[in-house]
Amino acid sequence: GGMAGMRGMGEPPRTRQRSGSAGPTYHSPGGAAAPQPPLVTRELALSLEELLTGCTKKIKVTRQRAGRPEANTLQIHVQPGWKAGTKLTFPGEGDQLGGPGSPAGDICFVIAQKPHPRYARVGDDLEVHTRATLKDVVRGQEIEVPHLVPAAPPLRARLDQAQLAGSRH
């Protein structure tokens, strides 16, 4: 036999059948590696709060192993500050198209951000829209905006005329 994960010379050719009667047969003459199953990509939608503070998500997946469904749980440790589009790949955690010893595909999770009712993420900044009257702006009124983290005190800002509709700060 060859090294773990490798096929050596003198080993019998491998034949693989996908589960189900209509599936293709994979044959690796001379012990050549069987084709890698396709990458499986899934979206993982997270709240703005989860992306801000980080979290751990347990994702249940069902994959094919030796022609049978198998349940597995993967843990994703979301780091504070991750953005939509961040990709996390779990090598070998996808479907296994052949029998025991055949290669298993990879699973890739792509982070998506759920819409937030108050805040919008723009790059590394957060935007919040609030209403103020012209009178409040002219007087330099102080406003309070709820913090993204509920336990934190509200954010305070003093309005000025440069913050009229359409301007950004």
Q: Report pLDDT digits (tens) over 7-59.
A: 333 333 333 333 333 333 334 445 556 677 889 999 999 999 999 999 999 99
Superfamily of domain 34-113 in CATH is: Urease metallochaperone UreE, N-terminal domain (2.60.260.20)
Does residue 85 have a pLDDT over 80? Answer: yes
* 78: amino acid identity, one letter: V
Phi-psi map region of 156: left, alpha, beta (phi>0 left; psi -120 to 50 alpha): beta
Does residue 150 have a pLDDT over 90? Answer: no
Higher pLDDT, 4 or 32: 32
Overall residue count recorded for the chain in this entry: 169
pLDDT above 90 covers a percentage of the chain that reads 36
CB atoms within 10 A of CB 16: 20
**Structure confidence at residue 110 (pLDDT):** 97
CB under 8 Å to 59, separation ≥6 — which residues? Answer: 44, 73, 74, 75, 76, 109
R_g over Cα of the chain: 26
**Structure confidence at residue 54 (pLDDT):** 94
What residues does each domain of the chain span?
A: 34-113, 130-163
CB under 8 Å to 89, separation ≥6 — which residues? Answer: 39, 106, 107, 108, 109
* 103: amino acid identity, one letter: P
Does residue 143 have a pLDDT over 90? Answer: no
The highest-confidence range among 90-99, 112-121, 151-160, by mean pLDDT, is: 112-121
Q: For the chain, what is the mean pLDDT?
A: 77
**Structure confidence at residue 133 (pLDDT):** 83
Record the pTM: 0.66
